[in-house]
Structure 1
Amino acid sequence: MRVTRSPPSEEHPVADAVAGHWVDRWAPRRTRPYLRLARIDRPIGWWLLLLPCWWSAALAGLAAGTAPNPLHLVLFLIGAVAMRGAGSTYNDIADRDLDAQVERTRSRPLPSGQVRARHAAAFLGLQTLVGLAVLLQFNADAVLVGIASLLPVAIYPFMKRVMPMPQLVLGLAFAWGALMGWVAVFGRLDAPAWLLYAGTIAWVVGYDTIYAVQDIEDDAIAGIRSSARTFGPRLKPAIGACYAAAAGFVGVAAWRAGAGPVGFLGVAGFAAHLGWQVRRLEAGNGRGALMLFRSNRDAGLILFAGLALDAGLRAWTG
């Protein structure tokens, strides 16, 4: 199939970007395509990458009897923004021809012709260097664990061509932060970190299936595989099962780390929010699916608040 790209232009707001974002209003015009390539106009991506890191840091604080390390939280924030941008840039380079065939993605900087592939590759290298500089601030074990995350990141863009649920591979990559906060404190990976990782993978599969509801028809035409297409009429029960697994694994991780009532209140709030998403989901409502997908930032912050407050109270009374 021959793909026709739009002529280069700096004014191609992406379909699911935040309306009125500062990138579109205040950023210099020449930088806008690169900021969009890094998904700066769609902050939900780095939030979803960041939150498992923060959960893990709070869980480690619970186990260690201390509040989450503020420096670690800041480093995770910077690293999440940089690596979300790098991962998105890499994904767009690999998918630029497929993206041109999907209504929601054809306005992205590469398929629309705003950025050339070689310039995108250079931008990818710059963002990766920022992420590496952040990673090197942690202990040697954390550095090794962080480098290992590159494998699922590297293979994910190609999985949507060959497997019915590429969201599983996305989960392996986006959930990696659930390991990082723990290893940054203890220099090893223990059961609570692995349980949190398992729960986060299930969470990622659930929320990215909701996200994929927007593209079911176009994905079928372009031959792109997704869990939303795979689940079909069983979409809501399947997402519900993913979210139940997420809440269950996270709850057990919190128990193994020694969480108290406040921590479990955060887990309960997280589970309740996920249940609300499943109830509200409508298979044919792409706009509603995007709203529910974005609401996972709030679900994640509820969980972090519970775990972090529990850890802080334990350190204060301790």
Structure 2
Amino acid sequence: MTSFFRVGLVAAIAAATGLGAVIAWPIGVLPPPLIELEGDVNRGAYLARASGCIACHSDFRSGGAPLAGGVQLETPFGAIYSPNLTTDSQEGIGDWDVQKFAVAVRQGISPDGSPYYPAFPYPFYMNFTDQEIVDLWAAFQTVPASDTPSREPELMFPFNQRWGMKLWRAAFLEPPHTDPVPGNDGIWNRGRELVEGAAHCAACHTGRNFAGARMSDTEHFQGNADLPGGDKSPAIDAETLRERGWTVESLAYGLRSGIMPDGDVFGGGMGEVVNYGTSFLTDADRTAIATYLMDVHEGG
């Protein structure tokens, strides 16, 4: 056996061993028992609206059932389809328990231990409290079962290898910035909690790098010209919003009605966000979102 062949064999074995280690690498942390907490259906339904669950997991355009999945998200890496979240035990989440649900929502990990693609905005949900999780779970238990099959992603190689998401998570996963900022008033901080968390505004309004990760350090809320399906989103930083004629009042109204300051209406994805999400929020929460985005503080 030549030395060149030996080196090649050793390198191949090392590569295979490393690949096997990544595939077998366990991720996620089992949460403490949540079963003793009692969920509130109404609070959970409200949070589901705020989090965009209905818009992303309901293919109403094709006559699909609520939360039965099937909404296509066309990405630069291929197509992803939102899964069935109804109580069907075969196609939905009917055989899950609240612990599995908590790991999925906050950590982006399926019951079998495999990572979800970040088209599921779990990075924004990581700070959901135990109570919020059980509230959500209680609400999802009221969804009628649908046997609509969940479709597997249609991604190009190597993005169709889910184990690769373990490397993506190690390199790019960032926690949500929802903690209150000392010195800022309660309305602003409530807006921060919603915008940077449940409402996951940065998912669409922040540019992404070659790997599909948000460029939060340089392009936070600066818009995205390359959204799935060829759509694009405008910048929503405070300075840009002011330049385009928005105020706290008009933005809060827009989140309820879909009407912009110039009389036009939101279209595309933002129209669905309003129709199935923000229009159901309280006036106080819409005002909080607008206050945070416009960066308006109490008394100024």
TM-score of the superposed pair, with normalisation by structure 2 = 0.30
| Structure whose CA Rg is larger | 2
Structure scoring higher RCO (CA < 8 A, sep ≥ 6) equals 1
TM-score of the superposed pair, with normalisation by structure 1 = 0.29
Judging by fraction of residues, say which structure has more helix: 1
